[in-house]
Structure 1
Amino acid sequence: MLENYLKKINILTDKEIEEIKSVGKKSNLKKADYFIREGETCKDVAFVLSGTLRSYYVSDKGEEITYCITFPNNFMTAYSSFITELSTEENIQAITNVELITIPKSIIDVLANQSPNWVRFLRLMAEKQYIELEKRIFQLQKNNASQRYSDLLKNQPEYIEKIPLQYLASYLGVSQRHLSRIRREISF
């Protein structure tokens, strides 16, 4: 899966892909386990082979706010902590059992110093993250909850099918009760 993903991007050579495969370490998270918790420093990036993760923070009212969901065939990390090497304010938790390939930042830094292809790849991943973040901000600010749910239903139906209601509601910025009402209205 990782190899196919990297080949599809068409930046890295076969040798560079083999290098990353050789240093990547498979690991598993059970449902409700954490990849990282608030206050820790993120030292790895992970490629999700199977399962689903959620990224969330705890509001000043003590509420868990889910802001990102990661499905298989995607990279995931506590990005700002990964870049700055400072502690993170987010939690990344398994919604289901998850199988990952983790790659330490120290190795990614070495690879980036050895090849401009890795620098290009890392820039592309950063740009992709920025675009997703911008889309999410615009959606939260421009659309009401029904529009956000309809957009999710149209563009990312796997979210609707595979994410527990409380996390989906948090992701959409509504209460579970409000989400249930929206779902009833849209299904008619």
Structure 2
Amino acid sequence: MESLINYLLQYEQLNAQQIELIKNSIKSVKLEIGDYFSEAGKTANQVAFVQEGILRVCYYNKEGEEITRYFIDENNFAVDLNSYNFQIPSGEYIQAIVPTQLLIFSRKDLTNLSDTIISWDKIIGKITNKALMEKVNRISPMLAEDAKTRYTEFHNRFSTLVNRIPLNYLASYIGITKNSLSRIRKELTE
């Protein structure tokens, strides 16, 4: 729980009473490999902070293929923002790919924090802006690159994740087959 409080304190000062209110608003949830935090077709009504582990955000394309959009690791929030903000069914899944410990805020608890802590909306706004910028920076540079460059770039930017993510999900994320990824990794280690 301290990791969440330290994360929030990066954006704004909070007093002891506010910190206690935040702690009392959280539910701790453990997901096993393959468990979903959020599912397509359902409306998002919770926001998670990843205390430990990795989530992946994925969807199914028109051909029925599972596509990994991105990964969410420790000290980051997870939510389908569009579904949460507009109360519409989600178009994507958020799934644990390793055992994952989440700190969960319900919509009701977040509303209560917003009504009680004057700077809460400011904190959430800063966190949301940072997350959206990271998302754009994560996806945009990789679109025009070849597979080897995409993998190398992922490895350089997310070196702490590269060996924790199953190959099939990493391959899906960079847009190649698992066999191609294995070949690329082998070439780079020779």
Aligned-residue offset at 1:66: 0.7
Asked if the contact 2:12–2:123 (Cα under 8 Å) also holds between the matched residues in 1, the reply is no
| Matched residue, 2:134 | 132
Asked if the contact 1:30–1:97 (Cα under 8 Å) also holds between the matched residues in 2, the reply is yes
Asked if the contact 1:67–1:171 (Cα under 8 Å) also holds between the matched residues in 2, the reply is yes
Q: Indicate which of 181, 184, 188 corresponds to 2:183.
A: 181
SS of aligned partner of 2:90: coil
CA RMSD of aligned residues (A): 1.6
Long gaps (5+) in structure 2: none
Matches of 1:36 and 1:136, distance apart in 2: 21
Aligned-residue offset at 1:106: 2.3
Asked if the contact 1:12–1:118 (Cα under 8 Å) also holds between the matched residues in 2, the reply is no
Matches of 1:59 and 1:78, distance apart in 2: 17
- The alignment's TM-score, normalised by the length of structure 2, stands at 0.91
- The alignment's TM-score, normalised by the length of structure 1, stands at 0.92
| Matched residue, 1:146 | 148
- Quick one: percent identity of the two aligned structures? 34
Q: List 4+ stretches of structure 1 deviating above 4 A.
A: none
Say which structure is richer in helix.
Answer: 1
SS of aligned partner of 1:142: coil
| Matched residue, 2:165 | 163
- Of residues 137-146 and 54-63 in structure 1, the stretch that sits farther from structure 2 once superposed is 137-146
| Matched residue, 1:50 | 52
Letter in 1 for 2:170: L
Matches of 2:139 and 2:74, distance apart in 1: 23
Q: Counterparts in 2 of 1:1-188, with a 5 A limit?
A: 1-188=3-190
Letter in 2 for 1:41: T
Deviations 1:27-75 (A, max 9, x none): 1112111111110011010111122211100111111111121112221
Aligned-residue offset at 1:151: 1.4
Q: How many residues of Structure 1 are paired with residues of Structure 2 in the alignment?
A: 188
Q: Structure 1 residues 154 and 140, CA, compared in 2 at 3 Å: closer, same or farther?
A: closer
Letter in 2 for 1:151: E
